Structures are given as structure tokens and as C-alpha cells.
Amino acid sequence: MTKLKVAVLISGGGTNLQALIDACAGDDFPAEIILVLSNKADAYGLQRAKKAGINTSVINHKDFSSREKFDQKMDEVIKSAGAEFICMAGFMRLLSEWFVEKWFDKLINIHPSLLPDFKGLNAQKQAFDAGVKTAGCTVHFVRKEMDEGPIIVQKSVEVKKDDTADSLAAKILEKEHEAYVEALRVYCVR
Ligand code: GRF
């Protein structure tokens, strides 16, 4: 089986990355991770990648004078690794229009809300504070506007009376792991 070659962009702990690593370990999963790229050298997700024998790269955005220059470097590294598709998994940088156009429909993101509700940072707390009864997560194609783009998979969780913002975020994160694996599979077999 020819597997889709995927680069995963991270900035932190990488539990979504781990879910993708675990799924990709299956012989019948249609994708493989060939690169994990972080803008932070201390992102724990890099350890997860190394443990799984996946190549890693750190590109510190602070070393570049503009967003475009940082994105050009990422593009260069991703291309030379041979990636055909990109998953953003807790990557905390906005991408330039140039990068988004270059990877149009080959670049997906996960966001911890039922988009189009609660875009931006701390989406889980935004949902909790708004008092919604149902929260969740979304995997979507990336467009130039933040947290916009065609939706691939959404999963919801019930907000219970005894939930706190933190317990809700933890429930959403569990669903994220399922949603991301499902979205990547759906993309590959479409
Ligand atoms: C997730 O909640 C994701 O939706 C958001 O950042 C968090 C990353 O978590 N964009 P992890 O690094 O995958 O554990």
C-alpha cells in the first residue's frame, strides 16, 4: 500500500501527534509520518517523534525577520523531507497566505471547538464560559483566515453540570485524538 507522506507541525506536548503516530503504526493505515517539525526546541512532542523513530526538525520563528521568511524555511524543510501533506497539531503560529496557498487542500488543522463557534485561543474556556451544553473539536482544511476552512470531521462532548473548564478541555482533547485520526483516514480514502 502506498502511504500518504505526512509532516506534522507542533509547538508543544503533542498528544494529537501521539494519536497520529499510534494510528500510522498500523499496517493498514493509509498515511505515514515522515517529519515532525516544531518551532520550539523544548516541545515534548519532539521526544514522542524520536521515540517512534521519526525525523524531527526545529525551526525557531524568532530566528526570522518575517512570517513569510519563517514559512519559506518550513516549506523548504517539509518539501525536502518528501512530505505530500501537512497536519497542524497544536502548532501555535499563524501561517502566511503564501504558505496556505502553496499547501492549499493539503494542510489541515485541529481546533478544540465546534467551529465556526469559539475561534482563537482558549476555545474550550470560551465554550465553558458561554455555558454551552455541547462542546467539541473540529479538523478542517486551513485557509488564510484563522480557524476557517472546509470541515473534515467534528466530534462533540456533552458539558455536564459538574464540569470545570479544565475537565471540559480534557474531554475535548480525548475526542481530538479520535477526530484527527479519522480525518486523516477520510482524506486518504476519499
Ligand atoms: C489541542 O487542544 C489542539 O486542538 C490545540 O492545541 C492543543 C494541542 O495539544 N490547537 P497537543 O499538543 O496535541 O497535546
Q: Which domains does the chain have, with CATH numbers?
A: 1-103 (3.40.50.170), 111-137+155-190 (no CATH)
Ligand 1 centroid distance, CA of 109 (Å): 10
Dihedral angle at the C-alpha atoms of 85, 69, 116, 37, nearest 10 degrees? 40
The runs of H, that is alpha helices, within the chain are: 15-24, 45-51, 67-81, 97-102, 123-130, 165-189
Residue 22 has a pLDDT of 98
Is pLDDT at 190 greater than 90 in this prediction? no
Name the residue with the closest Cα to ligand 1, atom 5: 90
Determine the atom of ligand 1 nearest the C-alpha atom of 89. 13
Is 61 an active-site residue?
A: no
Determine the atom of ligand 1 nearest the C-alpha atom of 45. 12
Ligand 1 centroid distance, CA of 166 (Å): 14
Is pLDDT at 31 greater than 90 in this prediction? yes
Is pLDDT at 150 greater than 90 in this prediction? yes
**pLDDT bracket for residue 6 (50, 70, 90):** very high
What is the overall mean pLDDT for the chain? 98
Stretch 116-145: mean pLDDT, rounded?
98
Residue 1 has a pLDDT of 86
